[in-house]
Amino acid sequence: MTEGNAGADQPLAALRAQIDDVDSQILDLLARRLELVGEIGEVKGRHALPIYAPDREAAMISAKRALAAERGLSPDLVEDVLRRCMRESYTHEKNMGFTRQAPDLGPAVVVGGGGRMGSLFARMLTLSGYDVRVVERDDPPEQVASSVRDAGLVVVSVPIHDTVAVLRSLPPLPPGCLLVDLTSTKRAVMATMLEVHPGPVLGLHPMFGPDVDSLAKQVVAVVPGRDEAASRWLVEQIRLWGARVHELPAETHDELMGLIQALRHFSTFVYGWHLAHEDHDLDELLALSSPIYRLELVMVGRLFAQDAELYYDIITASPDVVALIQRYLTRYAQAFELLLRGDREEFVARFREIGDWFGDHAETFLAESRGLLAHADATR
């Protein structure tokens, strides 16, 4: 019953040597593929083409799936391998140059440019050929004033709870300078930007952490402020970096962020609290987990390796959050009542109503999650 099983050793060793040989050839081809994609990136960079072209990607995947089927290979396997290669390519392209969308722009100043998100934007702007200056909020006022004197762009990237104060402390900006923030709630910050600067204003909210490999496929929320024409180049520049840009008003943005950020992070915090109090052996929980529960444990536990203060600020950033969480808690209690009553029929009826609300998405999510869970299984 062990690997030392006589009779199997020799044929297994021979087959494994052949697999090693195949793997070595696959490695060579992966390296060659990355080189070729790098060359495509250079051509795109020279011609101001975005590094991420959704339609072309979809067409390419579809052609390779058909090819896989012809050769009796699983199309899903081929798609997954190619997508993994593409993800690697985007990472490689991140240090590539990008065409500058506003060739005559004055210096781009990143306030808080030493922070993680600030330095990501400073790097992307530099790679796109802008003259980038980094300023910290503790720098002497004269120094800040001299940095922004001829600025074409000022990006404020400081912790949420400092943003309004930092905006108010800014020296006057040149009238044509574009003022931008990267904060995760928009109403108060946008109002302050419009108040302190009479020129063009734009709100940006990168929907990802500062540790992403590349902006390819990441979402950036765009909230219009003032003089849209004067900020169009920046939105275009962000598209060139590969991001998906989604524009919406500050109010809608903040409402949706209640769900996407505040309720999500708060509930994760509470679930971690609950787990710690129930105090079962985490290793045994992991050993026993179904794929879905393992994924949940991973997504909950990851929170607590991160910055408590940042999460408190994100959760409490919008004044509507308390009401949103209150509604959630009320609904949880209602559902619990249903469970206490043992009301199977109502559970089933509600379940189906909610399914109707999800519509076709429920089925596509089920299919998508199968692949994700299989991936999560394969890596553990």
Instruction: Specify the residue, 41 or 107, whose C-beta has the smaller distance to a copy of itself.
Output: 41
Is residue 85 within the footprint of a copy of itself (CB under 8 A)?
yes
Among 9-17, 106-114, 150-158, 226-234, which window interacts with a copy of itself (CB under 8 A)? 9-17
Residues 255-284 that bind a copy of itself (CB under 8 A): 255-256, 259-261, 264, 266-267, 269-280, 282, 284
C-alpha distances out from residue 46 to 36, 188, 216, Å: 16, 40, 18
Least gap, CB of 172 to a copy of itself (angstroms): 33
Least gap, CB of 115 to a copy of itself (angstroms): 18
How far apart (Å, rounded) are the C-alpha atoms in residues 337 and 50?
A: 53
Residues 208-237 that bind a copy of itself (CB under 8 A): 208, 211, 213, 217-219, 221, 236
The torsion defined by the Cα of 33, 36, 38 and 39, in degrees rounded to 10, comes to 180
C-alpha distances out from residue 58 to 54, 62, 214, 339, 373, Å: 6, 6, 20, 45, 22
Q: How many residues touch a copy of itself (CB under 8 A)?
A: 163
How far apart (Å, rounded) are the C-alpha atoms in residues 268 and 275?
A: 10
Instruction: Specify the residue, 5 or 142, whose C-beta has the smaller distance to a copy of itself.
Output: 5
Q: Which of 49, 58, 66, 194 binds a copy of itself (CB under 8 A)?
A: 49
Instruction: Specify the residue, 176 or 293, whose C-beta has the smaller distance to a copy of itself.
Output: 293
Convert 69-91 to b/e letters by CB count within 10 Å (16 or more is b): eeeeeebeebbeebeeebebbbe
Instruction: Specify the residue, 142 or 366, whose C-beta has the smaller distance to a copy of itself.
Output: 366
167: closest CA among 140, 195, 186, 142?
195
Instruction: Specify the residue, 225 or 242, whose C-beta has the smaller distance to a copy of itself.
Output: 242
Is residue 7 within the footprint of a copy of itself (CB under 8 A)?
yes
Angle at 168 between CA 165 and CA 170, to 5 degrees: 115
Q: Contact letters (x/-) for a copy of itself, 304-343, by CB under 8 A?
A: xxx-xx-xx--xx----xx-xxxxxx-xxx-xx--xx-x-
Q: Which of 168, 169, 302, 319 binds a copy of itself (CB under 8 A)?
A: 302
Local structure of 171: helix, strand or coil:
coil
Least gap, CB of 158 to a copy of itself (angstroms): 18
Q: Which of 26, 149, 169, 200 binds a copy of itself (CB under 8 A)?
A: 26
Angle at 148 between CA 142 and CA 151, to 5 degrees: 165
Least gap, CB of 308 to a copy of itself (angstroms): 4
Q: Which of 58, 66, 77, 194 binds a copy of itself (CB under 8 A)?
A: 77
Instruction: Specify the residue, 44 or 133, whose C-beta has the smaller distance to a copy of itself.
Output: 44
Q: Which of 24, 142, 175, 229 binds a copy of itself (CB under 8 A)?
A: 24
All residues at 6 or more sequence positions from 370 whose CB lies less than 8 Å from its CB, including other chains: none
How far apart (Å, rounded) are the C-alpha atoms in residues 31 and 227?
A: 46
Is residue 95 within the footprint of a copy of itself (CB under 8 A)?
no
Instruction: Specify the residue, 147 or 184, whose C-beta has the smaller distance to a copy of itself.
Output: 184
DSSP state of 177: P
The token pair at 52 is 């991420």
Instruction: Specify the residue, 104 or 333, whose C-beta has the smaller distance to a copy of itself.
Output: 333
Instruction: Specify the residue, 28 or 150, whose C-beta has the smaller distance to a copy of itself.
Output: 28
Residue 222 pairs in a beta bridge with 204, 247
All residues at 6 or more sequence positions from 339 whose CB lies less than 8 Å from its CB, including other chains: 347
